[in-house]
Every structure is written in structure tokens, then in C-alpha cells.
């Protein structure tokens, strides 16, 4: 079961995004994962890093771990969101 189904009862991406923008740490972590995996949204590592960082800054251990693993993995492939977009530099 995906986190969105477990924690949000399958509510629309628009609603999850609204919760994330309001500071809901679970929504931030979930939308970061959705962007990282391209599930329900186009895969976008800069957006994934942005939302995972937001959740990580609020102390979400899963988001902290996922962000670290994602950035390490992307860096090893030389596809870091930092190098791919100027926006990533500001977010990270």
C-alpha cells in the first residue's frame, strides 16, 4: 500500500499538494516520493528534493534518509538535481 493511500485515503494529488504547501510533513514527504519515482506525476528530481527537504527540515526521519539516498544516488550517476536546475541550488 502506497503512503498516499495509507495516510490520505486516496485523495487527489491537488489536495496532497495543498496539504504539503500548508506544512503537513507527511504530505511533503509523500509528494517528494511521488516526484522521485514518477508516480502520479512526471519524474522530477528537483521537486522531489524540494519536498523531501521540507519534510526533513521538520524532523521527518524517512524524508531525511530518502533525501540523502536520492542525492547520493543521483550524484553517483552525475544527474543531481543541483546540477540539472538552478532551482535545485536554491532549494538545497
The half-sphere exposure of 5 on its side-chain side, counting CA atoms within 13 A, is 4
Cell numbers found for residue 55: 519534510
C-beta of residue 28 within 8 angstroms of C-beta of residue 20: yes
pLDDT tens figures, 60-78: 999 999 988 888 876 666 6
Q: What is the mean pLDDT of residues 43-65?
A: 93
Domain of 57?
3-91
**Structural domain count, the chain:** 1
pLDDT at 33 over 70: yes
pTM equals: 0.70
Q: What are the Cα distances from residue 52, in Å, to 60, 68?
A: 9, 10
pLDDT in the model for residue 84? 46
Amino acid at each position: 500500500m502506497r503512503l498516499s493511500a495509507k495516510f490520505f485515503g486516496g485523495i487527489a494529488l491537488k489536495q496532497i499538494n495543498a496539504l504539503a504547501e500548508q506544512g503537513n510533513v507527511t504530505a511533503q514527504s509523500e509528494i517528494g516520493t511521488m516526484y522521485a519515482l514518477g508516480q502520479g506525476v512526471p519524474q522530477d528530481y528537483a521537486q522531489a528534493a524540494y519536498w523531501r527537504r521540507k519534510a526533513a527540515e521538520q524532523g521527518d526521519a524517512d524524508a531525511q534518509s530518502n533525501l540523502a539516498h536520492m542525492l547520493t544516488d543521483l550524484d553517483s550517476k552525475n544527474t543531481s538535481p543541483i546540477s540539472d536546475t538552478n532551482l535545485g541550488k536554491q532549494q538545497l
